[in-house]
Structure 1
Amino acid sequence: MALLKVKFDLKKRVKLAQMLWLMYWFSIMAGVLVLSLGLFFKIELRKRSELMDNNESHFVPNLLIGVGLLACGINAFGGKICYDSLDSSKFAKWKTVLKPFLICCFLFNVLLFFTALLCFTMRIPLQFTLAEGLKNGMKYYKDSDVPGRCYMKRTLDLMQMEFRCCGNNNYKDWFEIQWVSNRYLDFSSKEVKDRISSNVDGQYLLDGVPFSCCNPSSPRPCIQHQVTNNSAHYSYDHHTEELNIWKRGCRDALVSYYGGLMNTIGILVLLVTMLEVAVMVGLQYVNTSLSTLVNPEDPESESEGWILEKTVKETFTDIMAKMKAMGKGNQVEEGAEDQAVATVS
């Protein structure tokens, strides 16, 4: 028994084809939207590629770009088939390619759903990528005169000001690395010598943060140096007072930003998937309704359309049976080849 069988007359078939043709145009625009979102996300990642440990994060935007291009091509082709279905003579040339095309549409919808899932799960690998990338980036903050690293300071400062964050996990991360270049240190000063000699790695460490960590909304002038030294500032206690530097870590801020962006894109891709499934089902109805005309020579005769010729269970059983038959056929061919080789020997 066919799944979701519907009876059609000429008027219903024409309305279905016209509506489906319009939906295909919406699908093309949806494909352009997915392509645009992929490009936008790729540009956003490129802006801060120096702060990411690897290029794996570009897999999802590249996939979105590819899926968007495929959607435009597939839907343009499907729209042409629907337009030609209004004329039985033109539609006849598409009958041989319709079944393979519908299989391609089904596989494309699976790819779309997989892409949406990747968008929702990208937050997890992004956390590890940013954790390592930010850690390395902070180490190179002081290397403003080293080729290949001279823009790291600018990148980190702009990022901390834009996302209102400080450090990797929090502002204390700056206490654990030397972020002041040696060229700006007076090595004849006793304070500088003491700080360097007191550190195992010979680094000049400070309980201070770069200026970009300062919160401009704070009424107090920014305390970015000697943050933990209460006696260095009037009426100040870093344990109880609300610090006038950003407390939020940049990894959390960036993951929230990119994660929110990817969740939005994932929802849009799911909506596009639903639209693609709808047009695929509509095209199957067009195909079956035109293939089952009571009188093929009379375009006004009634017909029946369905999604599957059999039930889901029967269709699945048939597919499994065909796959088993193909497997047995391959085994027989291999056995025959082995026997032929043995006979020749």
Structure 2
Amino acid sequence: MGVPEINLTEDKRCLMSKIASGVSLFTIPFNLFMLTIAIYIELAVQDKIGLIEGSRNALPGFMIMLSIFGLITNMLGTRVCWVVHDIKRRDDWKKYLMPFVITSLILFVCVFVTSVLCFTSVTSLRKLFSKGIITSMKKYSTDMPKKHIIDLLQIQYECCGSGGYTDWFNVKLVSKKYITDDYMTKEEQNIYRKHNDNVPFSCCKLRTRRPCINTRVHEKQFKYKYNKDLTLFTRGCGDALMTSYKQMLNAAGGIIIVLAFAELTIGLLTRLLQTSFENLNDDEDSTAYLLPFGGHAKPSEGNELDNEFQNLLEDDLPPPPTLESLQNLPPVSSLDDISVTESFDDVDPEDEEQFPAPPEENEFLPYDEDAFPPARQSFKYVNQM
């Protein structure tokens, strides 16, 4: 039959269908949460990753499609699992159980893979952020959209550089065409030409009580020591983004993995219901299983009856006749006292041609031993046996 074999009564089948319907209904809020978090990543954060890295992440789009598919499937599955507990409507709805089993298992695999991607993407995001931010920093003086994104990123997340503010010391902040008398004073020109320890204004702390020092950061100035009176953000933007992403993706992965095991539970319960209804006859009990192999096949009612009938026939049959019993048979006085059956299988075609034509009406033919074979070769004395 299958493994594992579980006997289910009508009450257990009704209870199992209600539980499957309830679990399917329970997954709808989790699908809504996955849809919400995917839209948030796509709209609020994905634009920054796209500008920094120059590419889009496929995970939010996959989560959106999977959550919509899960919502539709689980709403329909809730209806199917609830209706099949009603005997009157069961025959019309139980045919939808097998498609729902397959869909639930596919959802389990996809949702489980999504949860794993949420956890594993946390470890790979740090390198992507570091590389993308440094690449954008090198275009800070020539690419205005990149400059705007970097300044907005540092102000919004209160960070500076990729790993810290010292990352800006090797980056030119101002283009050469602006280091002229038309745009800067002689002192400012010397600062941006001769000194490398400069950072953008967006690295300045917003809550500091003194003027922000973002040029010649590591030089001694009036009542200023950079190791004590630093007015810049010390945290790198890569770490700041990782903190935000890590919390969000870990929470999403934890909730999505609960959704995955809920989908697996729905698939197993629905499979037991589907096999139980397939094996249901007129009796109230039926056998349910998950895998259609490995079990011990149970004989059906028809096979049991055939086996009992065969045993009765074997018990009532007489033993086969022996040669001595046939030789000791009494002589036949008349053909009316015995019942004979002719064996056509044992007669040769040559012997059939030796039989005379049947006698006409009211004609008597004497018994000829040469015309007929012996009785033991062509007749069976049934009554005497």
TM-score band by shorter chain is 0.7 to 0.9
Is 1:155 paired with 2:149? Answer: yes
Aligned to 1:109: 108
The answer to whether the 8 A contact 1:51-1:134 is kept is: no
- Give the % identical residues: 26
Q: How many residues align?
A: 294
**For residues 27 and 126 of structure 1, what CA distance do their matches in structure 2 show?**
29
**For residues 229 and 99 of structure 2, what CA distance do their matches in structure 1 show?**
65
**For residues 18 and 263 of structure 2, what CA distance do their matches in structure 1 show?**
16
Give how far 1:286 is off: 1.8
* Higher relative helix content: 1
**1:171–1:291: structure 2 CA closer, same or farther, 3 Å change rule?**
same
Aligned to 1:259: 246
TM-score, with length taken from structure 2 = 0.67
The answer to whether the 8 A contact 1:285-1:306 is kept is: yes
**1:176–1:50: structure 2 CA closer, same or farther, 3 Å change rule?**
farther
**For residues 292 and 76 of structure 2, what CA distance do their matches in structure 1 show?**
24
Q: Which amino acid aligns with 2:285?
A: E
Aligned to 1:225: 215
**For residues 228 and 152 of structure 2, what CA distance do their matches in structure 1 show?**
26
Structure 2 unaligned spans of 5+ = 297-385
Is 1:303 paired with 2:286? Answer: yes
Q: Which amino acid aligns with 2:222?
A: Y
Aligned to 2:329: none
Is 1:213 paired with 2:203? Answer: yes
RMSD: 2.9
Greater Rg by CA: 2
Aligned to 1:67: 66
Aligned to 1:272: 259
Q: Which amino acid aligns with 2:262?
A: L
Q: 1:235 aligns with which of 214, 223, 228?
A: 223
Aligned to 1:41: 41
**For residues 97 and 12 of structure 1, what CA distance do their matches in structure 2 show?**
20
Give how far 1:126 is off: 2.4
Aligned to 2:168: 174
Q: Which amino acid aligns with 1:127?
A: R
**For residues 287 and 123 of structure 2, what CA distance do their matches in structure 1 show?**
49
Give how far 1:183 is off: 6.1
Q: 1:120-131 counterparts in 2 under 5 A? A: 120-131=119-130
**1:220–1:71: structure 2 CA closer, same or farther, 3 Å change rule?**
same
**For residues 186 and 111 of structure 1, what CA distance do their matches in structure 2 show?**
59
The answer to whether the 8 A contact 2:107-2:260 is kept is: no
Q: Which amino acid aligns with 1:273?
A: A
Q: 1:263-342 counterparts in 2 under 5 A? A: 263-295=250-282, 301-310=284-293
**For residues 29 and 283 of structure 1, what CA distance do their matches in structure 2 show?**
20
The answer to whether the 8 A contact 1:81-1:91 is kept is: no
**For residues 274 and 138 of structure 2, what CA distance do their matches in structure 1 show?**
63
Q: Which amino acid aligns with 2:232?
A: I
Deviates further, 59-68 or 181-190? 181-190
Give how far 1:120 is off: 0.8
